Amino acid sequence: MSEDLSELSAELRAAVARIYRRFRSERGDGELGDAALGVLIQLHKTGPHTLTELCEADRVTAGSMSQTIRRLETGGFIARRKDATDGRRVLIELTPAGEQTAQAARAQSVSWLNARLAEFTEEERAVLKQAAALMRRTADT
């Protein structure tokens, strides 16, 4: 049984790594890196967050997230503001440039993946849907 699990583990790691590399290769030259794009897309999808909330969402250290936030702020993609309900908290939010960049990056990756998924049969897409749910559950535990 453990050999079967090891084989499955290796296959999943290889598949996830290859898809990840494909997503990266589909981006244009000079675009933001993975960490920065991840923050922009997170803020685009769920709105302003504190630094701590962004760290928890990406499971990274405060130091690592602070560097990413500084780069994005310097680039004009995000801004910091005091929380209106709790003046001690600082929220990080997208600027119009950050919103545009997040939307474009997301649209490009969605377009690429949708085109690939369209090549599969309905049955294959159903299997992928189940696999995606299991992979998300694995990632979230």
CATH number of the domain residue 40 falls in:
1.10.10.10
State yes or no: pLDDT of 1 exceeds 70: no
Asked if residue 107 is part of any domain, the answer here is yes
| Domains of the chain: total | 1
Asked if residue 79 is part of any domain, the answer here is yes
Predicted confidence (pLDDT) per residue in 95-106, tens digit: 999 999 999 988
The DSSP annotation for 32-66 comes to --HHHHHHHHHHHHH--B-HHHHHHHHT--HHHHH
Its sign, for the CA torsion 114, 126, 23, 31, is positive
Share the mean pLDDT of the chain: 91
Asked if residue 113 is part of any domain, the answer here is yes
pLDDT grade for 86, boundaries at 50, 70 and 90: confident
DSSP category for residue 141: -
pTM (predicted TM-score): 0.76
